[in-house]
Amino acid sequence: MLYLTKALYFDTLAHMQWKDAENTRLIQAVLALKTPDEAQRFLRDLMTEKEIKEFSNRFKTAELLTKNVPYSEIEQKTGLSSRTVARVSKWLNGKGGGYRTIINRLHSHNSIQARKGLS
């Protein structure tokens, strides 16, 4: 089995073939979504209910990790394995920045809504 250092692991994953036609088109499709209803319908067409639940739990895990919730509590709340929680933690704290970008953006959006009395 090949073992990678943390830096090499993230470099390898960061260089995933995002530039192929299928992946580029999928990213364009996601960026074209305009409403929560459109997003829900697209995700349901694209994935199974089980896949949607898995991705939702991974995102919930990332949010809980940013609040320093212990792994054991996250596992209990999400039903994810300790290995998956650890993987989400690696991505959250790694070079990719995807989880962190969205969590920060949602937090900022919610703060603005709260200040305007919209939440």
In a domain, 2, yes or no: no
Q: Is the pLDDT of residue 1 over 90?
A: no
Instruction: Read off the pTM.
Output: 0.75
Do 58 and 92 lie in one domain? The reply is yes
Do 23 and 54 lie in one domain? The reply is no
End-to-end Cα distance, the chain = 50
In a domain, 40, yes or no: yes
In a domain, 72, yes or no: yes
- Structure-token pair, residue 100: 């962190």
Do 33 and 53 lie in one domain? The reply is no
In a domain, 28, yes or no: yes
- Structure-token pair, residue 34: 């305009």
Domain holding 69, by residue range, is: 49-119
Do 39 and 93 lie in one domain? The reply is no
Do 33 and 78 lie in one domain? The reply is no
pLDDT digits (tens, 9 = 90+) for 21-44: 888 999 999 999 999 999 999 999
Quick one: pLDDT band at residue 71, thresholds 50, 70, 90? very high
